[in-house]
Structure 1
């Protein structure tokens, strides 16, 4: 059974690129356009295991740091690994991401093999 990954990013083109790379590697992918949409999609998945979340930081309505903070308060997702995929390289923002619960930080533009390598390290077999 394919491992399920949620992509949270306000850029439809970036979601498409990440989705294609992950799908080609055999993962099942769900997309959300911002943090609020991400939380909503996770609520709709009742009972399905999400193996990993990839989230942008800068998004309208709810940014990635707030999304991860709220995500980690949900018992079902407390231990779900999160990769931040963002243009944001500031140390303070990275520290806030780590504090919120992000496990990895990838700066855009990214190369798909680098992202897939990080994904494979964080998703348990």
Structure 2
């Protein structure tokens, strides 16, 4: 089963996103901000998730900082990151990709968009 790490400071959004992903056949781990996610990734070591979905605006370590950490860490540098945020300007998507994100989803989104984006990114990394 494909492992996904979901990082969002809103417990409601995290819960909904995790439920959608589990319904799509994924094994899901969660964290409430980038700093907690870093701790989980360090604890998982060689058992890192195959993909990460993160919010942008979070306390302690925002999504951009977290994405840069993921891409600069040898154990996670090849793990694709999807940023998911209410920030909907073109600049936000540009900045996400500049910081290493593979995709950007604007909230609110349709559940099928989340699952399709995850599957597309995973397929692209395997080819």
TM range (shorter): over 0.9
User: 2-side partners of 1:79 and 1:46: how far apart?
Assistant: 14
Tell me how far apart the structure 2 counterparts of residues 111 and 73 of structure 1 sit (CA, whole Å).
Answer: 31
Q: Number of residue pairs matched?
A: 124
Distance, in Å, in 2 between the alignment partners of 1:61 and 1:51 is: 24
Q: Any conservation in 1 of the 2:34–2:58 contact (CA below 8 Å)?
A: yes
The normalised TM-score by structure 2 is 0.93
Give distance in 2, aligned partners of 1:115 and 1:93. 18
Superposition deviation, residue 96 in structure 1: 1.8
Measure the CA separation in 2 of the matches of 1:67 and 1:24. 26
Cα drift, residue 93 of structure 1? 2.5
* Number of the residue aligned with 1:95: 94
Mapped to 2, the partners of 1:90 and 1:65 lie a distance apart of 15
For the residue of structure 1 that corresponds to 2:18, the secondary structure is helix
Instruction: Identify unmatched segments of 5+ residues in structure 1.
Output: none
Unaligned runs of 5+ in 2: none
Higher share of residues assigned helix: 2
TM-score by length of 1: 0.94
Compute the RMSD of aligned alpha carbons: 1.1
1:64 matched residue in structure 2:
63
Deviation for aligned residue 1:91: 2.5
Equivalence for 1:33: 32
